[in-house]
Structure 1
Amino acid sequence: MRTEPGTVRSFALYGSSDQQPAWAELVHLETIPERSSLFDWEIDLHFHEALVQLLYLTQGGEGEAVIDGVRWVLRPPCLIVVPARAVHGFSFHPATDGPVITAAQKPLESLAALTAPQLLEHLRRPVVLDVPPDSRHAQVLAPLFEAIGREQQLLADGGMRAGMALLAALFVQVARVAASASGAVHSTRSRKAAQIERFRALLDARFRERLTVQAYAQALGITLGQLTRLTRELLGASAQAVVNARVVHEAERELVYSSLSVKQIAAELGFQDEAYFGRFFKKHTGRRPTEFRTQARARLAAQ
């Protein structure tokens, strides 16, 4: 896989030009060979703006994953969690098989926060976990993936909500595997990867305060230049671009799903006035907040 800084692209589904809006609801299941075989089993570094991925490698030889600068050895059977906005790539063995779920992270987190808050840390942290084939965890995982696949094929009302509930149940199993002695992890963790993780956590906690990038760097105990070099190397974007993308994503979610006025959303996101927020939003999306809200809700209603 390529690892050069500045080449990282965003996809809904890797290699697809059909970009699902970052605010949209989604639970999608496919097998690893369906997509990876099209790219000679080499998935270059990329990220999903608002989507979490859960991969279950059930067979195949040894491979490798890179997630936010951490290299992981893949020895099936194993589970891989890739949170939204995590830069990742894979080198799969050609015999690799197993399901891949791509889902909207925000609705899944909302569901977890209501029903099982302890799952949030497992949704937000990249990890590779061994799943011994004779373990009780292995017996439970496959039926849950299969149930999500059936919901996807049904195209029935409530399918997305059912898929989210089943995915939450899958992450219960992820938590159990992580807590078990057999959930061994094979990785080479770098200091830079740890710094990126801290930056992400700090950004999620404080992006509504509209802090400067300098303030984030100071909170992390590094210089502004170090933070920018770090994000360019591991995330393929400047630190300011990462901060802006987090704000834009939250703004889109609020505009589509909340009943707050544009003025209220601007205040919620730390903008001094609605006009400033409008200019910021149009600069990064090409549309005014009201225009975006109207078009996005029309798209939802048509589904």
Structure 2
Amino acid sequence: MTRPVPIYSLYGEKPTEHTEFWAHAETIYSRSSLHSWEIRPHRHERLFQILHIRSGHGEALFDGRWRPFGPRMVIAMPERHNHGFRFSRDVDGAVITLVAKRFSAELQGHAGLAEWLRQPSITPMLDEHPDSRYLSETLDRAEQEIVQGGARPTPLVEPLLRTALLLTLRLAGAERGQGEADRDQERLAELTRMIGEDFRTRLPVEQYARRLGISATHLNRITRALVGKPVSRLIAERIVLEAKRDLVFSALSIQQIALRLGFEDQAYFSRFFTQNAGLPPRQYREREKALLES
């Protein structure tokens, strides 16, 4: 006869215990060391868990199979899924436990996130992925906020956890391979980041495309499809945005602003600004300062 899988609040504790909290955090060591580094198969009826594995290794049981994991991984375990864990004695990490109903409302409006979180997952924080370090730091900070807040976690906890789960979803997509539409979204995000760093040097579209490993024609096709604009327009808008900030919030002369933005010819800068902003820079400055003073 098959023994029923026990239902726990936190592992080894009756479901009626700890009803006052909606978020709890503890080290993996603190509980697993009490159980010979093995958390036997069980489930939570109303709790969602995030395991942040910083170092060490082990195995996670879900869907009837033991799955190995190593350092720098995030394990998401939804409510009502049978699961168990085996940890190495040198494991370093944390378990964040959330009341699923309390937190589920925070997931609404994020395409694909709530659906993805209905199934257990193991997501590596890939060294080459730019979000991995940020994800680890976000989980560390969420853990600290929960521990310091006790039964009433600080207001930072929800946005931190929401950010961590969205980053985990992004990393999970990078690990399993995404469709062309998702890749194009990532290319657009990377392009926006690069333009933000390099707009003062006014790099040609071809150089951005080369960095992304595609042709300029392909890159323009992506930006037109996703935001309705060619790359040149995105670059121009970023330059004009910075010019507007300097015109309104600095005492720099128009010539100084032009030089800061890579224009050696003030007249050319004025024409460029007028074409993209609808007003010459001097008129724009006078109008905006008058509005601020009114």
- Band of TM-score, shorter chain: 0.5 to 0.7
Q: 1 CA distance for matches of 2:166 and 2:42?
A: 27
1:17 Cα offset (Å): 4.3
1:130–1:182 Cα contact (<8 Å) kept: no
1:25 Cα offset (Å): 5.2
1:32–1:98 Cα contact (<8 Å) kept: yes
Match of 2:50 in 1: 54
Match of 1:86 in 2: 81
What is the TM-score when the length of structure 1 is the normalising length? 0.53
Aligned AA (1:165): P
1:122–1:171 Cα contact (<8 Å) kept: no
The structure, 1 or 2, with the larger RCO (C-alpha pairs under 8 Å, 6+ apart) is 1
Q: 2 CA distance for matches of 1:157 and 1:78?
A: 27
If you compute each CA radius of gyration, which structure gives the higher value, 1 or 2?
2
Q: 1 CA distance for matches of 2:69 and 2:164?
A: 20
Q: 2 CA distance for matches of 1:80 and 1:119?
A: 15
Aligned AA (1:33): Y
* Superposed structure 1 runs of 4+ greater than 6 Å apart: none
Q: 1 CA distance for matches of 2:91 and 2:84?
A: 15
Where 2:61 maps in the other structure, the secondary structure is strand
Q: 2 CA distance for matches of 1:17 and 1:44?
A: 15
Match of 1:72 in 2: 67
1:50–1:84 Cα contact (<8 Å) kept: yes
Match of 2:117 in 1: 123
Which of 23, 26, 35 matches 2:22?
26
1:56–1:79 Cα contact (<8 Å) kept: yes
Which of 113, 135, 145 matches 2:139?
145
CA separation of 1:130 and 1:150: change in aligned 2, threshold 3 A: closer
Q: Which runs of 5+ in 1 are unaligned?
A: 184-303
Where 1:109 maps in the other structure, the secondary structure is helix
Is residue 2:95 matched to residue 1:100? yes
1:90 Cα offset (Å): 0.8
Aligned AA (2:141): A
- How many residues were matched structurally? 177
Match of 1:181 in 2: 175
Match of 2:153 in 1: 159
1:67–1:126 Cα contact (<8 Å) kept: yes
Q: 2 CA distance for matches of 1:71 and 1:156?
A: 33
Q: Which runs of 5+ in 2 are unaligned?
A: 178-294
CA separation of 1:49 and 1:122: change in aligned 2, threshold 3 A: same
1:94-120 Cα offsets, whole Å, 9 max, x none, are: 11111111101122221111x424210
What are the residue-to-residue correspondences of 1:1-303 with 2, within 5 Å? 5-17=2-14, 19-20=16-17, 26-61=22-57, 63-113=58-108, 115-133=109-127, 135-155=129-149, 159=153, 161-181=155-175
Q: 1 CA distance for matches of 2:151 and 2:18?
A: 21
Q: 2 CA distance for matches of 1:45 and 1:106?
A: 23
1:158 Cα offset (Å): 6.6
1:257-289 Cα offsets, whole Å, 9 max, x none, are: xxxxxxxxxxxxxxxxxxxxxxxxxxxxxxxxx
CA separation of 1:19 and 1:161: change in aligned 2, threshold 3 A: farther
